[in-house]
Structure 1
Amino acid sequence: MYLIHAQLMARSGAFLPEEAAAIVRGFARAEERVEYVSAHPEGFPQPVLGLYLLGGSRREAELVAEAVCRRALAASPQLQGFALLACRAAVPREPFADF
């Protein structure tokens, strides 16, 4: 399973709606194997969606997440004020990296 972060850019003071995760999840197709979507409206510096996908590779998961997000942003009236900046796998920090 891969966690892909989709970084969004808000246009003209748009706020990420409370139901953003459910909206994006609704645009996923069964064969894309999106297991879960979370929304972080106060992500820094921009809002972030977290898409959890089953996939063969990290790159495949990133491409699927990008496709799902682009469909949702293009078709959902609630997400009209947003653009997709990037879709990248979340890479965990190494334990004790700061020591």
Structure 2
Amino acid sequence: MTKNPLIKYQKQISDLAKKHQISYLALFGSHARGEAQINSDIDLLVDFKETPGWVELYDVEQDYKKLFNKDIDMVEAAGINKYVKPYILPDLITLYGQRPASLS
């Protein structure tokens, strides 16, 4: 299992997930693979308890951007393209919640 590079933020990650009704949050991409550069953004896969509106999506992205002091690329689990999914799934590092069956 890959080490979570964001472990020092675990409490804040959980607090924000609860605030925004997130059921699952995972890291993927260069940070998950240990290949991040100084200017790399943070790729987050998110699954919500209920479908959020645009304002809520923006708020989630901004809250995590502020926490990590990095740009955030956020992908909703429900909206993953079937052609991209095989490239995302192997990288996933769970930050909050349980991985949904749809991401198996």
TM-score by length of structure 2 reads 0.44
- Bigger radius of gyration among the two: 1
More helix per residue: 1 or 2? 2
TM-score (norm 1): 0.45
| Bigger share in strand | 1
